[in-house]
Structure 1
Amino acid sequence: MHADHPPSIDVTALAAVLDGTTAGVAVFDTELRYLYVNPSLVRRNGLPPAAHIGRRPSEVLPDIDAREDLMRAVLADGRAREVTSSGRLPAESGTARVYWHGAYHRLEADGRVLGVVGIVLEVMADDEQRRFAQAQRHLSLLDSANTRIGTTLDMDTTCAELADLVVPGLADIAAVEVFPPDVAPPVRPAPPDVVRLRRAAMSAVRGLSGGVTRFGVAGDYIDYQEEAAVSRCLATNQPVVEDLTDTERLRRSAPHPDRAAAYRELGLHSSVAVPISVRGAPIGVLGLLRAGGSPVFSDDDVVVARELAGRAAVHLDHARRFTHEHTIALELQRSLLSEPRPPHPHIEVATRYLPADRSVLVGGDWFDVIPLPDGRHLKAMGDVMGHGVEAAVAMSHYRSLLRLLADEELPPHRILEQLDRMVERSGIDRAATCLLTVVNADGGLCEVASAGHLPPVFLDPGPAGTRICDVPAAPPLGTGFGGYRSTVMECGPGTVLFMYTDGLVERRGEDIDASVARLGALTLPDNGDLETFLDRVLERFGPGAEDDIAVMASRTRDEPDDPAPEP
């Protein structure tokens, strides 16, 4: 029961005197490390002597009020002190608190300070003291909820934050379960008269954490019969408290007979199910369990649990709404920003879309490649002002109108004029920049027109190098000003046409002309692969972007692919 110690402290003699006393006794060195613990204290703490020796009380028993400050004061001035403390011991369940009275004296020899001896006796707190301690814990929980719940817009994270908050302050075990459609589709239809929930989070005190895994883990689907406490809680939207020492009530609360046996084995004796409701309708339930020496749930406990569930519900509702919009945005992005199909077999196209804000997966940037008669094709790059679903909807209108106008075989500046008028008449309230190029069938020439968009870049094969097209300035679409003009550019076979949105080059504090000029240093990889080219462009220019980035690289090969021979 002891380790190396100063020779002036005879721990063997101490053990001979103190091993048999019913009071808990510990001897500490001047650094407040345990030198000796008697059997009574070992039993009370629930830890072997070896777990104490050489460590400080705060390290051995982190959930108790060890009052090391008081012990240091005793070391400093030699005046004995007494104090009443409380906390949770490893041998006890999570919410069970013990109270003890301790006396601390300084040990000296030949005028030299050797350490501190502590003598503790467990005491019973009176009802008023217990109620005061409980009120303090409740207030602490409610205060912590303001900063610990709802730190993200992810539903599972919010559920985990709620479960972790209430353990061990309010329960020994906590589970947060929600209706599956709010977080994921159900894996199978629920049987009749069964409530199916998805367990989003679970937490337990250290002594029970291993045993509760048999009840299921986060992500599992849990079925509750109609008479179960959880089902009744959701049906009435009111808390349901159960005494699990009653065999019949335990049978109803446990989904399966084997669960009832597990409840008994873990010593679970009381539970409370609290609805998590949004605008009067439950979206899930907070389940709390207590075991061992923890007291049964009081009315005050239930009030606090309901308040915490209500606060979590607000954040879960925000997360649910965000998830719903996020799903819509993602599907919209997939449908509108699907990679364009090459209009002809001898045309290569590569595209990328990179949102500046990873929490908003869709914005107003778009690109398109539209086949035209006589082997020509139209390439478009656009940027609707704003982000989110509204910008994506406006982008969809622009893209649809552009495809409609492309069938009229107009030059690019005339397409922009028509598009500008149609947007004004359609009531789209978001302006957009747009860059159009019409490439001839042989890829020798292309016509370029811009509506407030940044100029394209041409990367010619061989030593010719990189050209930034000088496109006449014109206002964005949706302004009604018009004034668009086309410019003819050489775009022979093998020349790469690179189009982009302003998020690629625009940087705060830098002139836009200087930003675009940096694109003059673009080069193709040695193998000429367009996908690799775009990866390198984003690696170089993407970091630091404050807006979405859309890029498209395309070229006409020297000759169309030969048709496959007839079998």
Structure 2
Amino acid sequence: MQADAYADIPLPIDPSALAALIGGTTAGVGILDTKLRYLYVNPALERLNGIPAAEHLGRTVADVLPEIDAREDMMLAVLSDGMSREITSSGRTPAATGADRRYWHGTYHRLEVAGQVVGVAGIVLEVMASDEEQRRLDRTRHHLSLLDAANTRIGTTLDMDTTCAELVDLVVPGLADFATVEVFPPDVAPTVRPAPPGVFRMRRAALTAVPGLLERFARFGVAGDYIDHQPGSAVPRCLASNQLVVENLTDDEQLGRVAHCPERVAVYRALGMHSAVFLPVSVRSGPIGVLGLVRAGGSPPFTAEDVVVARELAARAAVDLDHARRFTHEHTIALELQRSLLSEPRPPHPHIEVATRYLPADRQVLVGGDWFDVIPLRDGRHLKAMGDVMGHGVEAAVAMSHYRSLLRLLADEDLPPHRILEQLDRMVERSGLDRAATCLLAVVDRSGGMCQVSSAGHLPPVFIEPGAAGARLGDVPAGPPLGTGFGGYRTTEVRCAPGTVLFMYTDGLVERRGEDIDVSVGRLRELTLPADGSLERLLDTVLDRFGPGAEDDIAVMTSRARPAPGGCAKDLV
């Protein structure tokens, strides 16, 4: 209890009881007499006002705090009618740390002793301090919500660009007005234009902005662009140190430190960019890329708490991006390997038309061992092959190449299809190749009306007649897959009218989870040639119809004979 400099001013309550009751509360409490002079000030009010308690006593609010609108008229009204009132006051006090105006909300009550009015008591809280605490709490809740959302919204696929897009979509507008993720160019991607000497090149994997800025930021390019950064700009500095870079963009010099080229400074200024954060997206092996966050216009600068949250989001995304990067690397190598092995078959004769497609199931499934081939034989005949090595990845692609090479070697021996399969089965078994494969062979004679077909566990071929309302499935017995050593293959002769299209495919085209394979294959009877008879358009239609939902790679091949110049259309498929 502070000393009372005015002993002739009686306190209406025992001082010791008063101190025990309100001396320790965090709310400011003051007691004033009927002339609104301070009788008592608790420690909290002393701190709020920034003036020692003893300097309050015996003086009015206006005397102690001349820059405060204390609303003494309202206090006098409380003394007059005894009705408690809530009063909001504002102004500046010695306790203020800056020039900003402060606000208080107080509740005032009349005090009476033995029926006599002796003064007024006020309980005061600083409204701005309370609002700031609420805003801080709201920011904390928002940051926690972002971190929680990251667990479910980032890393839903093994695609790097999708993961980067998920990251920028999470932080805008929750943490920034504009966000971008730039990653190192993949080391197995097709070659792009060379970077100028001394220039640091990154690939923009994703970017987004709030609606009001999205179109204006579009001038910076789109996802997939290669960005060349000048030496010393923000992104190279971030990656060189593997540390975040925070920039307050208040002048052109600071804007220039962020811009990847000098020409961007004027653009950044026009966009109202005022603060930026660049964070390395890193794993143990080193940085993968950079997350860039920008605030512009009326948005507040980044706070320390914002930076902490952004750092955590970048760290979480780095784990998913590392998985995606490793997958993409393996997937690209396998795909390029298969493409190099699975070259487009050349027509064995100028009058034979062939169209093919290879379609990976999706970017989350590694390439498999599907293959097709057309091999010329003696006497104008040719061998068509469609095969599928079991499994996926580089090993399946290598095994596919092994099967294809052995098949081409055996085709030179002029054997019927079932004998080729028997020889191939034995050679694979003896070679120690541990991957079985299905295979469908068709030997076509340009001068006859039949073709010879044999299957090693493969799905039946489809024959499409010109002008027919539907297709027919070849009734071909399916022997064991190659590589099992069981043998037992048969050759079946199938009627082929002039101009008939032979359609061959792998099981990825028709196999669907929960559906009987015979039902799936049966739908191929609905195939018809397009009006112009184009084989390319036929394959486009087939893949548009049967491709969605595929869980395995798809390889398809169509072929037919074209009339020789000056001749007739009697060539077979």
Give the TM-score, by structure 2 length.
0.64
Q: CA deviation at 1:370?
A: 0.3
Q: CA deviation at 1:235?
A: 0.6
Q: Which residue of 1 aligns with 2:281?
A: 276
C-alpha distance in structure 2 between counterparts of 1:291 and 1:526, whole Å: 57
Give CA deviations for 1:19-56 in whole Å, capped at 9, x if unaligned: xxxxxxxxxxxxxxxxxxxxxxxxxxxxxxxxxxxxxx
Q: CA deviation at 1:507?
A: 6.0
C-alpha distance in structure 2 between counterparts of 1:272 and 1:387, whole Å: 42
The answer to whether the 8 Å contact 1:501/1:549 transfers is yes
The answer to whether the 8 Å contact 2:188/2:333 transfers is no
Question: Of 297, 316, 324, which aligns to 1:319?
Answer: 324
Question: Of 178, 200, 216, which aligns to 1:195?
Answer: 200
Q: Which residue of 1 aligns with 2:336?
A: 331
Q: Which amino acid aligns with 1:136?
A: R
Give CA deviations for 1:46-103 in whole Å, capped at 9, x if unaligned: xxxxxxxxxxxxxxxxxxxxxxxxxxxxxxxxxxx99xxxxxxxxxxxxxxxx999xx
Q: Which residue of 2 aligns with 1:402?
A: 407
C-alpha distance in structure 1 between counterparts of 2:451 and 2:150, whole Å: 62
Q: Which residue of 1 aligns with 2:452?
A: 447
Q: Which residue of 2 aligns with 1:144?
A: 149
Q: Which amino acid aligns with 2:323?
A: H
Residues 37-436 of structure 1: pairs in structure 2 closer than 5 A: 123=128, 125=130, 128-181=133-186, 188-205=193-210, 212=217, 218-245=223-250, 249-257=254-262, 259-261=264-266, 263=268, 268-291=273-296, 296-353=301-358, 357=362, 360=365, 362-436=367-441
Q: How high is the sequence identity, in percent, across the aligned residues?
A: 76
- Which runs of 5 or more residues in structure 1 are unaligned? 1-80, 83-98, 102-120, 563-567
Residues 469-488 of structure 1: pairs in structure 2 closer than 5 A: 469-488=474-493
Give CA deviations for 1:484-503 in whole Å, capped at 9, x if unaligned: 23344555654544444445
The answer to whether the 8 Å contact 2:372/2:557 transfers is yes
Q: CA deviation at 1:435?
A: 1.9
Question: Structure 1 482/244 Cα, relative in aligned 2: closer, same or farther at 3 Å?
Answer: same
Q: CA deviation at 1:305?
A: 1.5
From the CA coordinates, give the structure whose radius of gyration is larger.
2
- Secondary structure at the counterpart of residue 479 of structure 1: coil
- Secondary structure at the counterpart of residue 201 of structure 2: strand
C-alpha distance in structure 2 between counterparts of 1:452 and 1:505, whole Å: 15
Q: Which amino acid aligns with 1:141?
A: L
Give CA deviations for 1:271-299 in whole Å, capped at 9, x if unaligned: 32211113341122122334566554444
- Secondary structure at the counterpart of residue 477 of structure 1: coil
The answer to whether the 8 Å contact 1:333/1:361 transfers is no
C-alpha distance in structure 1 between counterparts of 2:527 and 2:222, whole Å: 52
Question: Structure 1 126/560 Cα, relative in aligned 2: closer, same or farther at 3 Å?
Answer: closer
Q: Which residue of 2 aligns with 1:78?
A: none
The answer to whether the 8 Å contact 2:480/2:487 transfers is yes
The answer to whether the 8 Å contact 1:443/1:556 transfers is no
Question: Structure 1 467/232 Cα, relative in aligned 2: closer, same or farther at 3 Å?
Answer: closer
Question: Structure 1 218/345 Cα, relative in aligned 2: closer, same or farther at 3 Å?
Answer: closer
Q: Which amino acid aligns with 1:163?
A: V
Question: Structure 1 444/559 Cα, relative in aligned 2: closer, same or farther at 3 Å?
Answer: farther
Q: CA deviation at 1:355?
A: 5.2
Question: Structure 1 519/100 Cα, relative in aligned 2: closer, same or farther at 3 Å?
Answer: farther
- Secondary structure at the counterpart of residue 434 of structure 2: coil
C-alpha distance in structure 2 between counterparts of 1:327 and 1:551, whole Å: 21
Q: CA deviation at 1:342?
A: 2.0
Question: Structure 1 260/514 Cα, relative in aligned 2: closer, same or farther at 3 Å?
Answer: closer
Q: Which amino acid aligns with 1:176?
A: V
The answer to whether the 8 Å contact 1:177/1:200 transfers is yes
C-alpha distance in structure 2 between counterparts of 1:215 and 1:296, whole Å: 22
Question: Structure 1 419/160 Cα, relative in aligned 2: closer, same or farther at 3 Å?
Answer: same
Question: Structure 1 155/410 Cα, relative in aligned 2: closer, same or farther at 3 Å?
Answer: same
Question: Structure 1 538/177 Cα, relative in aligned 2: closer, same or farther at 3 Å?
Answer: closer
- Secondary structure at the counterpart of residue 234 of structure 1: helix
Q: Which amino acid aligns with 1:307?
A: E
C-alpha distance in structure 1 between counterparts of 2:209 and 2:464, whole Å: 62
Question: Structure 1 273/400 Cα, relative in aligned 2: closer, same or farther at 3 Å?
Answer: same
Question: Structure 1 123/342 Cα, relative in aligned 2: closer, same or farther at 3 Å?
Answer: same
The answer to whether the 8 Å contact 1:451/1:475 transfers is yes
Q: Which residue of 2 aligns with 1:41?
A: none
Q: Which amino acid aligns with 1:324?
A: H
Question: Structure 1 100/332 Cα, relative in aligned 2: closer, same or farther at 3 Å?
Answer: farther
Give the superposed CA RMSD: 4.4
Question: Structure 1 178/125 Cα, relative in aligned 2: closer, same or farther at 3 Å?
Answer: farther
The answer to whether the 8 Å contact 2:188/2:329 transfers is no
The answer to whether the 8 Å contact 1:445/1:491 transfers is yes
Q: Which moved more, 1:432-441 or 1:212-221?
A: 212-221
Q: Which residue of 2 aligns with 1:50?
A: none
- Secondary structure at the counterpart of residue 396 of structure 2: helix
C-alpha distance in structure 1 between counterparts of 2:526 and 2:441, whole Å: 23
Q: Which amino acid aligns with 1:376?
A: R
The answer to whether the 8 Å contact 1:443/1:493 transfers is no
Q: CA deviation at 1:313?
A: 1.7
Q: CA deviation at 1:374?
A: 2.7
C-alpha distance in structure 2 between counterparts of 1:507 and 1:181, whole Å: 34
Q: CA deviation at 1:267?
A: 5.1
Question: Structure 1 539/261 Cα, relative in aligned 2: closer, same or farther at 3 Å?
Answer: closer
Q: CA deviation at 1:437?
A: 2.5
C-alpha distance in structure 1 between counterparts of 2:377 and 2:535, whole Å: 23
Q: Which amino acid aligns with 1:135?
A: T
Q: CA deviation at 1:130?
A: 4.9
Q: CA deviation at 1:439?
A: 2.9
Q: Which moved more, 1:353-362 or 1:378-387?
A: 353-362
Q: CA deviation at 1:195?
A: 2.3
Question: Structure 1 476/235 Cα, relative in aligned 2: closer, same or farther at 3 Å?
Answer: same
C-alpha distance in structure 1 between counterparts of 2:162 and 2:182, whole Å: 12
C-alpha distance in structure 2 between counterparts of 1:514 and 1:263, whole Å: 60
Q: Which amino acid aligns with 2:415?
A: L
- Which runs of 5 or more residues in structure 2 are unaligned? 1-85, 88-103, 107-125, 568-573
The answer to whether the 8 Å contact 2:179/2:209 transfers is yes
Q: CA deviation at 1:420?
A: 1.1
Question: Structure 1 401/254 Cα, relative in aligned 2: closer, same or farther at 3 Å?
Answer: same
The answer to whether the 8 Å contact 1:274/1:286 transfers is yes
Q: Which amino acid aligns with 2:488?
A: G
Q: CA deviation at 1:257?
A: 4.9
